[in-house]
Amino acid sequence: MLIAHRIALDPNNVQATYLARAAGTARFAYNWALATWGRQYEAWKADNALIKPSQAALRRQLNAIKREQFPWMMEVTKNAPQMAIIQLGDAFKNFFAGRARYPQLRKKGGHDRFTLANDQFRIDASRIRIPNLGWGRMRETLRFAGKIMSATISRVADRWFVSITVDTPDRSHLPEAENQGAVGADLGVSALATRSAGESIHGPKALLPRLRKLSRSLSRKVKGSANRRKAKAKLTKLHASITAIRSDALHKLTTDLTRRFHTIGIEDLNVRGMVKNRHLARSIADMSFFELWRQLEYKADRRGGKVVVAGRFYASSKTCSACLAAGCA
């Protein structure tokens, strides 16, 4: 079973600069390979005698030209551009299989990350060793035991994180559910979830007044100015805070439900249709129904429980909880 542990890093200024360069190199390699793949694929369709593009061929092409055309790539680990092209190959596999859209260009500020293979880094307690950089500090130790598969280092606002993927057969890090019976969770807007016992759990609300203020401040700044860059950094940091608050609330709720109850019943909601209501769209998006459903399923599975999903058109509100008859007074 593959499990990822996301840990905050504590880099100094020199290390943060290196991480930013490596992320930029990975982003450039991905975009270069995407453009090259498109040109070569069109040429291959016109003349089948040519070689069909692949991620392995693009990696060899980049290795052949990077020393002369992109010498700055040599300043960071070779894994940054190579793993980016491998990820592009996976993206094209998903596209041709109908599982995803056509790969898009990665943008600075939104895709600041790079990946390391398991033979390119080492973990020692709360430290990680990155090629061409040395040892860096992590805020905590790796939580899972098993074979380390890869590490993805990414930036969110002004913070750096490492997501370490571990292949472990051990599922005992979560104890079995206490089995206090079955519980139903009714998802809503005014309350994130209402338990079948009548208890309401209120979800977090976005910091809308401050979000509006910073958004207006950013829109008034001159493009390319230092003040606009500072305003954008503030807005990005606020968005990261909102995401962290929402994630914390969802994890606390789903952990509590899966820890206490063996069977959890939830309803299948048409979230895509619900967010089309302009009066409720923001509130529905704040609740993150799909993420709550996803967390409930994997946490219940790891604790030996199960999640029962009521059909979208099941008349649950018209069924008596005592005699199970429809329309019972």
Q: What is the pLDDT of residue 268?
A: 74
Amino acid letter at 315?
A
Confidence (pLDDT) at 123: 93
Cα-based angle 268, 291, 305 (whole degrees, multiple of 5) = 70
Q: How high is the pLDDT of residue 91?
A: 94
CA separation for the pair 247, 156 (Å, rounded)? 14
Contacts of 99 by beta carbon, 8 Å cutoff, 6+ apart: none
The pLDDT score that the predictor gives to residue 109 is 84
Structure tokens given for 236: 């990005």
- pTM, entire model: 0.81
Residues recorded for the chain: 329
Edge-to-edge strand order for the sheet containing 200-201?
200-201, 193-195, 182-187, 263-267, 306-310
143 DSSP 8-state letter:
-
For residue 327, the model assigns a pLDDT of 56
Q: What distance in Å separates the CA atoms of residue 60 and residue 78, rounded to the nearest whole number? A: 12
Check residue 322 and give its pLDDT: 59
Element containing residue 195 per DSSP (H, E): strand 193-195
Pairing type for strands 182-187 and 263-267 reads: parallel
Mean pLDDT per block of 10 residues along the chain (329 residues) reads 90 94 95 94 85 91 94 93 95 93 91 92 92 92 89 92 88 68 73 70 76 92 92 91 87 86 78 72 74 84 81 63 57
Per-residue model confidence (pLDDT) at position 141: 93
Taking the C-alpha atoms of residue 247 and residue 235, their distance in angstroms, rounded to an integer, is 18
What residue type is assigned to position 269 of the chain? Answer: L
